[in-house]
Chain A
Amino acid sequence: MIDWFAMLVGGSLFLFMVPLLYRIWVGPTAYDRILAVNVIGTKTAVLLVVIGALFDRVHMFVDFAIAYALLNFLASVVVSRYLNRTAAERNVEEKTKGARA
């Protein structure tokens, strides 16, 4: 019964990731893409626990899931800080150009 539950949750997770992949592929701005990547990364941590439940090795896969959640959070924060800084630099450049003209 645990196997059935894990198969249900894992298959539905894969199925519901398809719209997020569409958003990564099409997404008008870079921020949409980062948002979708962030959601998929969080769900991958859940998927690791599901795989552990399927293989009867939850005690091992839980540690992978912790590491993956940490890395995912770091990646999303770092990319948004990077985009924030480049946007601020662009604003400063535009202001200086306007002042010269």
Chain B
Amino acid sequence: MLKKKRKEQERKMKDSSFIPVLAETMTSSLNDLNIIQIFGFLLGVLGLIFFLGAAVGMLRFPDFYTRMHAAGKGDSMSTMLMLSGLGLVTMEDYSLGSWLVFVKIMGIVLFIYLTSPTSTHVLMKAAFEDNHMPLDEKDLKKAKGKKK
């Protein structure tokens, strides 16, 4: 189905000028969307927002443990949201092959749900046993004094 539509769109692109054809394809594809794909778009954009939070946290936080707090939560949540959104978006028809792809993607989501907290925990334990202590109030006061 989709390949036929794409061939028709390509023919249209060759025939006439670019901008009205682009508008036409956009409206037609907007009409073709079903509710599952819209839900998938929303999940993907939500995952991007979570990943933005993780990236800003990795950039701005002062300490290894606080950075790990931002990265561990934001990373696992955004990966799970984005993968499930992509799985919903790429469901073109409900044939056996597309169901298999969806199940595999949900398998990756399950795997990341199990392993991302595990790796965060192992890394935190390694850092803590390396006498790498978190920041306390004295360190924060020192940092403020240096800035002034």
Q: How far is the CA of A66 from the CA of B9 in the complex (A)?
A: 34
Overall SS of chain B's interface: helix
Contact check: which of B33, B64, B97, B130 meets A1 at CB < 8 Å? B33
Size of B's binding interface in residues, CB under 8 A: 49
Contact B86 A63 (CB under 8 A): no
Contact check: which of A31, A59, A65, A66 meets B100 at CB < 8 Å? A59
Interface string of B47-83 (1 = CB under 8 A from A): 0100110111011000010011001000110010011
Q: Contacts A35-B67, A49-B86 hold; do A66 and B130 have CB atoms under 8 A apart?
A: no
| Min CB gap A28→B, angstroms | 8
Residue numbers of A with Cβ under 8 A of B are 1-2, 5-6, 8-9, 12-13, 16-20, 22-23, 28-29, 31-32, 34-36, 38-39, 42-43, 45-46, 49-50, 52-53, 58-59, 62-63, 65-66, 69-70, 73, 76-77, 80-81, 83-84, 87-88, 91
The 3 closest A-B pairs by CB, nearest first: A87-B130, A84-B126, A19-B59
